């Protein structure tokens, strides 16, 4: 039996983000969200304003005017910069104030923190450095399925009143489908729980794979693809510190080797960008892509309709779980069972990355 | 002048319920509430799930799956046990996990705390022991009026954002009727305040009795019984640590001796089960039974309609009172007046029972 | 760069109001608010009930019955006093309990604190003394425009979830009009920011004056007065510790000397009574008076309609600003710019007055 500790406070004087892996790219939003208005959002305890600078490039600053602390996200985007909505101070994408209306001199302290952002495959990523202003030392993550013509996709986002790792736990253990999601992507609970699960991992990644041949197609699969009574299902989950890619699907029984990436059938590609807001809340950016059966033009519509219902169910479970953890406090011990292997591996990776935050500073 | 202290924290390491009398039966709910779905409810700082086991008997467990802390009250009742809604762990009424889907071995730590419950006279009672697992050493309370064909009754429940003792204060001092409940069961305020009150008590019980001959019948009484201009009213209140039984009523003037239990007229039997949720909130389970005048078949309907309005008024007063106590903090001293004798006696009983919690542990 | 500290706790044992200037008159409400029902309101952390005593005079007591702490504002005004709504205790305007129904003896401790109040120019003022019961040592403030037949006026009130000084900052620096209030009383942002501002002050007062000849009349001015393309605008702001008087307006260009108090044109007289509720919230009582153009009978109606919109905008800004200050905590440093001179002067006055609270007690 082990106690799940959720530390809610940072050590005095340290970064407000020290309880999360730093020097990492995190999802800040979808490209489609960022248009004319700035967006205020908190990542890893840091309040950030996202906007498009004069060249259309996504930019991110500390969400606070250095004059009187109004959020810059209450301001307007103009002249390629962002202007405070109280007294009109104008900031460039580097966080330096370039205009104080009515005052010639701009003091050197007139600036706010700037963040590195990148836009790729319809996602906006923000670099959360160990040291303020630190440059990215990793490639921006790629998620090619958003730009693959084989797929159609839709997306959504949730704000969770729960720590981000509870969502990792949920996604890395799809055995819960048979209990939580019977109305959509579930299926036979016992088959889910009894299917052998293969977990592999390295320093940053966990992969969880399960094959369920001869499975009863769940309602979502039947709505999106002309399956008969049985199908061969697969679930391939890849965890990285800031996001998961989940490749699920099914093919008519016996048509292809289950572990052949070129297998046919219904393919669902889920992207799950989970970015901590605070130690006890997070942003959850998801997309779901599917291929399309030639006779069923509505595939993606059906999938999205059902998957939103599924994700609502997950949120219900996870927020109930977290409220209960808070109410039981230290008495809320956990007990591992067979299906926790992948989630526990991911927790060890995050723990190690968090430990490296202070090592780097100490070095 | 005395300061009312409401301690909000338990001493480190002690029971979360130590601020309440233990080794006591408390009302957990009405029999009619518990059907197919489990009910999650907190008693004395302990989260509990109530459900009906395979044999239909009421059962109560700690409301937390030992795997990942989801409330068991989010699960389903099946196979005579309760199954967690996340990964399907199944528990028996003794709190022992009897199935982990997909895993043959059930480790000995796979269990949660079980509570003794009893069902009697349409009420479900839960035993809150001094020591976890302690057996009941008292009879389950009897409330025979729920099964007496002379009475018809209805019931309801409130969640109060106020400490339970403020409801005791209110019910043990019905002199407030003339100020708070003029529209229903009130009557002449001065008569209420000036009527002699007789208070008797033992180690566990307080009895408060008042007779008001020649009283003007209040609106509720006139709606339920064909009273003329005056009536002889009685109020007999019995307090026990977890509930109060209040026998009020009135008879046409001069028809019977006021203290004759066989007196005729309109009889109202109120049950008030008050179970702490936390130090600052509680559950209030009430029922109201009345006899019926042969010419007024609607008696109980009228009574219930008016009594719900009355109880809403009480809740308004008590929650306003408690908010004010919180805002004034230590400056919210209280001053006793004549009508506080019964309530103060009940407070002393509870104080002594709470002190006995630690004596028992120390012994 | 300086850190804005908002202390949220009083030192142990000291007055709950010590963080605010004491021995001061504060606005408690408008005369028109106080009719038959008592009003419960918190000033400087002190819960107060306002009511009209038997002679129609406004009275104020501690909002707590000394019996069981029910707010007296839940009671009724009768017999020239205020009666508790729980057990009927009756209090005089001096806070002394004059009746305990059902009990002959009234103990000497049966009393609550009384406050000195005064009613003048349609405003109710409350004296918040350094020492409980201390007599007013200052004249009740005069606001003659409420009784000047040249003006018509309307009023309103806000509850702000923000410290009172953030409203002073806002009102003492009208340069924000061009960014926040473009739709109503704004005008050209650059003109606002570049207009010379004259700040004068003494121990209790700050005066901020700006003249903007050749200004474009903003929408509110055009709606209320037949201005052409330009006008000569003035803004004269007078701060005192508990309220501000703001005299703004405009005249057709070149008609009068801008600093002639007898100038014609559109005159707007704003009263702004800002009374702390707690360190982090306040009451904001405002009125707006205007003269009337002979050809535009609707002047005051137009002005009030627009000014309410304007004040809503200010509240949005200030509450957003304060939430951001809380979220950034100690990192929410402020940087002064040219337009902060008046506001900073007012902050120094309040700081000094607060320091005098403890000097007086120490002396």
Contacting partners of chain A (3+ CB pairs under 8 A)? B, C
A343 interaction partners in chain B (CB closer than 8 Å): none
C176 interaction partners in chain A (CB closer than 8 Å): 86-87
The answer to whether B317 contacts C74, with C-beta atoms less than 8 Å apart, is: yes
C74 interaction partners in chain B (CB closer than 8 Å): 317, 320
Query: Mean pLDDT, chain B, as a whole number?
Result: 91
For the ranges B195-209, B298-312, B348-362, which has the lowest average pLDDT? B348-362
pLDDT digit string, tens, across residues B203-220: 999 999 999 999 999 999
Compute the nearest-CA separation of B195 from chain C (Å). Answer: 8
| Residue tagged 């002047």 (tokens) | C299
Going by the DSSP 8-state scheme, the letter that residue A216 receives in this structure is: P
In sequence order, what E strands does chain A have?
2-3, 24-30, 39-43, 46-52, 58-62, 76-78, 81-83, 90-91, 97-99, 114-115, 117-120, 123-128, 152-160, 198-201, 206-215, 231-240, 243-251, 266-278, 281-290, 333-334
B18-128 maps to which CATH number? 2.102.10.10
Out of A178, A192, A335, name the one closest to residue B109 (CB): A335
User: What's the gap between Cα C55 and its chain centre?
Assistant: 27
Give the end-to-end CA distance of chain C in Å, rounded to a whole number: 35
Compute the nearest-CA separation of B194 from chain C (Å). Answer: 4
The answer to whether C324 contacts A64, with C-beta atoms less than 8 Å apart, is: yes
> CB of B333 within 8 Å of any CB in chain C?
yes
> CB of C191 within 8 Å of any CB in chain A?
no
Contact A334, B68 (CB under 8 A): yes
pLDDT digit string, tens, across residues C186-221: 878 888 888 889 999 999 999 999 999 999 999 999
Which residues fall within 8 angstroms of residue A56, CB to CB, at 6 or more apart? Answer: none
Question: What CATH architecture applies to the domain C148-358?
Answer: Alpha-Beta Complex (3.90)
**Rounded-to-integer distance, Cα B94 and Cα B38, Å:** 16
Contact A284, A165 (CB under 8 A): no
Q: Which fold has domain C20-128?
A: Rieske Iron-sulfur Protein (2.102.10)
Test the A interface: residue of C3, C169, C179 with most A CBs within 10 Å: C179
Test the B interface: residue of C17, C84, C87, C132 with most B CBs within 10 Å: C87
Residue A14's pLDDT band (boundaries 50, 70, 90)?
A: low
Looking at chain A, the domain(s) classified CATH 3.90.380.10 span 145-358
Residue A7 has pLDDT above 70, yes or no: no
B173 interaction partners in chain C (CB closer than 8 Å): 87
> CB of A277 within 8 Å of any CB in chain C?
no
Provide φ and ψ at C318, rounded to 5°.
-70, -40
A175 interaction partners in chain B (CB closer than 8 Å): 87, 102
> CB of B324 within 8 Å of any CB in chain C?
yes
Looking at chain B, the domain(s) classified CATH 3.90.380.10 span 144-358
Residue A6 has pLDDT above 50, yes or no: no
Residue A235's pLDDT is 94
Residue C15's pLDDT band (boundaries 50, 70, 90)?
A: confident
Test the A interface: residue of C172, C335, C336, C347 with most A CBs within 10 Å: C335
**Rounded-to-integer distance, Cα B300 and Cα B308, Å:** 12
Residue C67's pLDDT band (boundaries 50, 70, 90)?
A: very high
Test the C interface: residue of A86, A90, A278 with most C CBs within 10 Å: A86
pLDDT digit string, tens, across residues B2-16: 444 444 443 434 688
Residue C1's pLDDT is 41
The answer to whether B327 contacts C47, with C-beta atoms less than 8 Å apart, is: yes
Residue A358's pLDDT band (boundaries 50, 70, 90)?
A: confident
Residue C363 has pLDDT above 80, yes or no: no
Residue B127's pLDDT is 98
Residue B34's pLDDT is 94
The answer to whether C334 contacts A68, with C-beta atoms less than 8 Å apart, is: yes
Positive or negative CA dihedral for C151, C156, C162, C164? positive
User: What's the gap between Cα B17 and its chain centre?
Assistant: 17
- Which residue in chain A is spatially nearest to B84 when comparing CA positions? A179
> CB of C351 within 8 Å of any CB in chain A?
no
**Rounded-to-integer distance, Cα B15 and Cα B28, Å:** 19
Looking at chain C, the domain(s) classified CATH 2.102.10.10 span 20-128
Residue C58's pLDDT is 96
**Rounded-to-integer distance, Cα C66 and Cα C209, Å:** 50
Which residues fall within 8 angstroms of residue B104, CB to CB, at 6 or more apart? Answer: none
A/C interface, count of CB pairs below 8 Å: 77
Residue C13's pLDDT is 46
The answer to whether C327 contacts A42, with C-beta atoms less than 8 Å apart, is: yes
Q: CA dist A279 to A12, A241, A314, A353, C49, Å?
A: 16, 15, 19, 15, 42
pTM (predicted TM-score): 0.91
Contact A220, A185 (CB under 8 A): yes
B70 interaction partners in chain A (CB closer than 8 Å): 317, 320-321, 324
Positive or negative CA dihedral for C79, C85, C86, C91? negative
The answer to whether C337 contacts A103, with C-beta atoms less than 8 Å apart, is: yes
Residue B281 has pLDDT above 90, yes or no: yes
Contacting partners of chain B (3+ CB pairs under 8 A)? A, C
C169 interaction partners in chain A (CB closer than 8 Å): 68
Pairwise pLDDT comparison (A181 vs B71), residue with the higher score: B71
**Rounded-to-integer distance, Cα C173 and Cα C318, Å:** 13
Contact C162, C303 (CB under 8 A): no
Out of C70, C85, C101, name the one closest to residue B193 (CB): C101
B144-358 maps to which CATH number? 3.90.380.10
Residue A1 has pLDDT above 50, yes or no: no
Residue A59 has pLDDT above 80, yes or no: yes
**Rounded-to-integer distance, Cα C43 and Cα C63, Å:** 11
**Rounded-to-integer distance, Cα A270 and Cα A293, Å:** 18
- Which residue in chain A is spatially nearest to B103 when comparing CA positions? A338
Interface predicted TM-score (ipTM): 0.90
The answer to whether B102 contacts A194, with C-beta atoms less than 8 Å apart, is: yes
Out of A83, A102, A107, name the one closest to residue C193 (CB): A102
CA angle, corner B347, sides to B343 and B353, nearest 5?
145
Looking at chain A, the domain(s) classified CATH 2.102.10.10 span 22-128
Residue A10's pLDDT is 39
> CB of B110 within 8 Å of any CB in chain A?
yes
Positive or negative CA dihedral for B169, B171, B177, B183? positive
Looking at chain C, the domain(s) classified CATH 3.90.380.10 span 148-358
DSSP string, C262-309: T--SEEEEEEEEEEEEETTEEEEEEEEEE--BTTBTTHHHHHHHHHHH
A22-128 maps to which CATH number? 2.102.10.10
In three-state secondary structure terms, C228 is coil
Residue B321 has pLDDT above 80, yes or no: yes
Residue B296's pLDDT band (boundaries 50, 70, 90)?
A: confident
Out of C83, C88, C109, name the one closest to residue B335 (CB): C109
The answer to whether A107 contacts C335, with C-beta atoms less than 8 Å apart, is: yes
Out of A325, A335, A339, name the one closest to residue B107 (CB): A335
Residue C55's pLDDT band (boundaries 50, 70, 90)?
A: confident
> CB of C69 within 8 Å of any CB in chain B?
yes
**Rounded-to-integer distance, Cα C252 and Cα C109, Å:** 65
Which residues fall within 8 angstroms of residue C96, CB to CB, at 6 or more apart? Answer: C110, C111
With a pLDDT cut of 70, the percent of chain B lying above it is 95
DSSP string, C116-165: -EEEETTEEEEEE-SSTTPPP-SPPPP-GGGG-TT-EEEEEEEEESS-HH
Residue A80's pLDDT is 81
Q: Which fold has domain A145-358?
A: Naphthalene 1,2-dioxygenase Alpha Subunit; Chain A, domain 1 (3.90.380)
pLDDT digit string, tens, across residues B103-114: 999 999 999 999
> CB of A12 within 8 Å of any CB in chain C?
no
Rg over CA atoms, chain A:
22
Compute the nearest-CA separation of A164 from chain B (Å). Answer: 15
pLDDT digit string, tens, across residues B83-95: 999 999 999 999 9
Query: Mean pLDDT, chain C, as a whole number?
Result: 91
Compute the nearest-CA separation of C107 from chain B (Å). Answer: 9
- Which residue in chain A is spatially nearest to C320 when comparing CA positions? A70
| Residue numbers of A between 280 and 309 with CB closer than 8 Å to B | none
> CB of B324 within 8 Å of any CB in chain A?
no
Residue A174's pLDDT band (boundaries 50, 70, 90)?
A: confident
Out of A47, A102, A107, name the one closest to residue C339 (CB): A102
User: What's the gap between Cα A31 and its chain centre?
Assistant: 14
Out of C190, C320, C325, name the one closest to residue A101 (CB): C190
A/B interface, count of CB pairs below 8 Å: 76
Compute the nearest-CA separation of C90 from chain B (Å). Answer: 12
Query: Mean pLDDT, chain A, as a whole number?
Result: 91
The answer to whether A325 contacts B69, with C-beta atoms less than 8 Å apart, is: yes
Residue C192's pLDDT is 81
Out of B195, B328, B334, name the one closest to residue C67 (CB): B334
Contacting partners of chain C (3+ CB pairs under 8 A)? A, B
């Amino acid at each position: 039996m082990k106690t799940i500790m959720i530390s809610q406070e940072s050590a005095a004087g340290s970064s407000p983000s020290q309880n999360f892996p730093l020097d990492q790219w995190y999802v800040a939003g979808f490209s489609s969200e960022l248009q004319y208005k700035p967006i205020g959002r908190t990542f890893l305890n840091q309040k950030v304003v996202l906007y498009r600078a004069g060249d259309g490039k996504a930019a991110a600053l500390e969400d606070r005017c250095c004059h009187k602390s109004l959020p810059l996200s209450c301001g307007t985007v103009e002249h390629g910069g962002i202007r405070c909505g109280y007294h009109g101070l104008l900031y460039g994408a580097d966080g330096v104030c370039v205009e104080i209306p009515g005052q010639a001199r701009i003091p050197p302290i007139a600036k706010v923190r700037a963040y590195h952002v990148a836009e790729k495959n319809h996602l906006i990523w923000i670099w959360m450095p160990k040291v303020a202003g630190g440059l990215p030392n990793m490639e921006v993550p790629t998620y090619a399925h958003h730009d693959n013509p084989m797929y159609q996709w839709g997306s959504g986002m949730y704000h969770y009143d729960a720590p981000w790792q509870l969502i990792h736990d949920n996604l890395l253990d799809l055995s819960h489908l048979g209990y939580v999601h019977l109305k959509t992507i579930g299926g036979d609970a016992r088959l889910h729980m009894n299917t052998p699960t293969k977990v592999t991992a390295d320093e940053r990644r966990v992969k969880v794979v399960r094959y369920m041949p001869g499975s009863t197609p769940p309602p979502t699969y039947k709505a999106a693809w002309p399956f008969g009574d049985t199908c061969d299902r697969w679930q391939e989950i890849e965890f990285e510190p800031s996001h998961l890619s989940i490749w699920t699907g099914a093919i008519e029984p016996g048509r292809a080797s289950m572990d052949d990436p070129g297998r046919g059938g219904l393919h669902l590609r889920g992207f799950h960008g989970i970015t901590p807001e605070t130690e006890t809340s997070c942003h959850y950016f998801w997309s779901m892509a599917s291929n399309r059966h030639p006779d069923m033009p509505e595939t993606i519509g059906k999938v999205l309709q059902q998957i939103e219902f599924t994700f609502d169910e997950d949120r219900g479970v996870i927020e109930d779980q977290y409220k209960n953890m808070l109410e039981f406090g230290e008495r809320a011990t956990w007990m591992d069972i067979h299906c926790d292997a992948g989630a526990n591996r991911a927790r060890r990776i995050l723990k190690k990355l968090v430990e490296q935050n202070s090592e780097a500073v100490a070095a």
